[in-house]
Amino acid sequence: MTTSMSLYTKHEELLEQAVKALHTRTYYTPYPEHPKAYPAEANDKGKDWFAGMMNQDFKELNIESNSWIGEEVSPYFQTGIGVTYPSLSVDSLVENATNAKTWKSTPVKERAALLIESLERVKERYFDIAYATMHTTGQSFMMAFQASGPHANDRALEAIAMGYHEINRFPSETEWVKPMGKFDLTLKKTWKAEPKGIALVIGCSTFPTWNTVPGMYASLITGNPVIIKPHPKAILPIAVVVAELRNVLVENGLNPDIIQLAVDTVSNPITKQLAEHKAVKLIDYTGGNVFGDYIESLNKTTFTEKAGVNSVILDSAKDIKSVAQNIAFSASLYSGQMCTAPQNIYVPEEGIETEEGHVSFDEVTKHVAAAIEGLVNHPKMGAGTLGGIQNDSTIKRIEDGGNFGGTLALGGQEISNPEFENTRLFTPRVIATDHTNKEAYSQECFGPIVFVVKTKNRNHSVEIAAELAETKGALTCLAYSTDSDMMNTIENRMNEAFTPVSFNFGGAAFVNQHAAFSDFHVTGGNPAGNASFTNPEYVNKRFVWVGNRYA
């Protein structure tokens, strides 16, 4: 049987590289993001695995239960996938996690090795996870593969590396000598990073692994047992990850209940019971503001990513067509069902200047609408970029919103997915409106909805964007300007609102994308969330330093 210390030898170099990457912030990944980097037969095996998994019990967790539940629905098939999972009571989950607290006694080197080994096992199942993600979230295959596979592993490894680095920041013991004149006072001092206790990770329905594994692995590397509570509509992708980690723990003689999966249904949720349980000390949450505010109100250590209103500040540009195309892709990707997707495009009422001449507000709106229309109707890009709508509430928002009090510059386009004819497809709506129509654009309209907002001038655009970031939250801001002074103004004002800015993106750079080991995801400084992965605080708040002294 492979021991955890031999695993450390196996993964030591990778761990050191990951810690180094945290400090250099340059491009780094040990997990290639393109499917072609993996065995040719892996795609078919993954597709076959998912097909065989449908209407079956998910037994990979090796948990005995008298109750099996599941209600996931494929946005591509429009039918339930039929997978069920072992259901345990809240008391059983907490008792199991309590019995697994011996995890903290495993040295951090061994914890890191075990966790990295689990990522290597997950790597072997990227295609399984990709198809599971597709048919629970509505993501396209490529996005599902990248986001739930390599990119999720990147973020997990980042959390492991940060935790490992922070726990090794201080020595575990030292001899402390204080000169006292005729004699020295000598004490032995020891320090330990004491984990806070049981951690709960509450997953979301749109990114069931990418948004879950950072908190999961951050709590695990710092010695806390973890209960994963996925969204009831998106369980299968993270269930595979949990299963692989449990397998590694068992193989190395450890209690698999160090990590558990807690499933429920929409009609019979258990999230609040878990969150409010006195034994649960840490909570990671991704989702809407109302429940996120509730999580933050609990007397717990919380790490939240909620909703925000992401802005595009359009001041000036070299080429309006390339700008519109970049915005179109970012707004259309996964039908806008991304926390980083742009929603509001602020354009001065006098229009903008480009190298090709003046462009009026109406012309900017037409360019954005035309770019989106061209993208979604492209036979090779449209359906694959849009994916499918995951949630009924997103559809309701689209259908009930109409023109949101503005002018409909682009309505829904009728397109089809040739591979999945039942896909729930909605193309982005583009709504031109005035800055006075604040009720419409000053809240997150999750999904394929874009507002082009007419402002008084470019400084007014910046102020609206910053004010909404401060009051409603924002995860991203995209800005276009050829004026360096204006770029400084935008950067300084948005940074004051704790919002990062991406300037003049074109080509293959998109505001939606955040890279592990380089970009901090969410700043934790505005209402969009109180945490940022992965910065030191993201792991340091999961344990406390305790010092002991011996005469």
pLDDT tens digit sequence for 491-533? 999 999 999 999 999 989 999 999 999 999 999 999 999 999 9
Question: How many C-beta neighbours within 10 Å does residue 250 have?
Answer: 13
- Cα distance between residue 112 and residue 91, in whole Å: 29
The amino acid at 521: H
- Residue 3 pLDDT > 70, yes or no? no
Kindly state which CATH superfamily the domain 12-171+193-307+531-543 is placed in.
Aldehyde Dehydrogenase; Chain A, domain 1 (3.40.605.10)
Q: What percent of the chain lies above the pLDDT cut of 90? A: 91
Handedness of CA 287, 413, 452, 478 (dihedral sign): positive
- Residue 314 pLDDT > 60, yes or no? yes
Say what the pLDDT of residue 395 is: 84
Summarised one tens digit per residue, pLDDT across range 8-31 is 999 999 999 999 999 999 999 999
Peptide bond connecting 98 to the previous residue in cis, omega within 30 degrees of 0: no
Say what the pLDDT of residue 418 is: 87
Say what the pLDDT of residue 64 is: 87
Peptide bond connecting 534 to the previous residue in cis, omega within 30 degrees of 0: yes
Say what the pLDDT of residue 526 is: 97
Give span(s): CATH 3.40.605.10, the chain: 12-171+193-307+531-543
3-state SS assignment for residue 374: helix
- Cα distance between residue 402 and residue 413, in whole Å: 14
Strands of the 259-261 sheet, one edge to the other: 259-261, 226-229, 198-202, 280-286, 301-305
Say what the pLDDT of residue 156 is: 98
- Residue 2 pLDDT > 80, yes or no? no
Q: Give me the DSSP letters along 169-182.
A: SS-SEEEEEEE-SS
328 pLDDT tier (thresholds 50, 70, 90): very high
- Cα distance between residue 342 and residue 308, in whole Å: 10
274 pLDDT tier (thresholds 50, 70, 90): very high
Question: How many C-beta neighbours within 10 Å does residue 177 have?
Answer: 10
Summarised one tens digit per residue, pLDDT across range 57-102 is 999 999 989 999 999 999 999 999 999 999 999 999 999 999 999 9
Say what the pLDDT of residue 400 is: 78
Say what the pLDDT of residue 1 is: 41
**Residues in CB range of 126: below 8 A, 6 or more apart:** 35, 38, 42, 46, 145, 148, 149, 150
CA-closest candidate to residue 312, choices 462, 517, 418: 462
Say what the pLDDT of residue 551 is: 95
Q: Alpha carbon of 351 to those of 252, 326, 454: distances in Å?
A: 64, 19, 9
Burial of 231 (C-beta count, 10 Å sphere; 0-12/13-18/19+)? buried
Q: Which residue did the predictor score with more confidence, 313 or 398?
A: 313
- Range 311-503 classified under CATH 3.30.110.30: no
Distance of CA 171 to the CA centre of its chain: 33
DSSP type of residue 36: G
- Cα distance between residue 371 and residue 483, in whole Å: 25
The amino acid at 4: S
**Residues in CB range of 396: below 8 A, 6 or more apart:** none
Question: Which pair of tokens denotes residue 149?
Answer: 């596979």
- Residue 410 pLDDT > 50, yes or no? yes
Summarised one tens digit per residue, pLDDT across range 137-153 is 999 999 999 999 999 99
- Residue 296 pLDDT > 60, yes or no? yes
Average pLDDT over residues 423-452: 93
Give span(s): CATH 3.40.309.10, the chain: 311-503
Q: Which residue did the predictor score with more confidence, 389 or 297?
A: 297
Say what the pLDDT of residue 403 is: 85
Handedness of CA 394, 395, 397, 401 (dihedral sign): positive
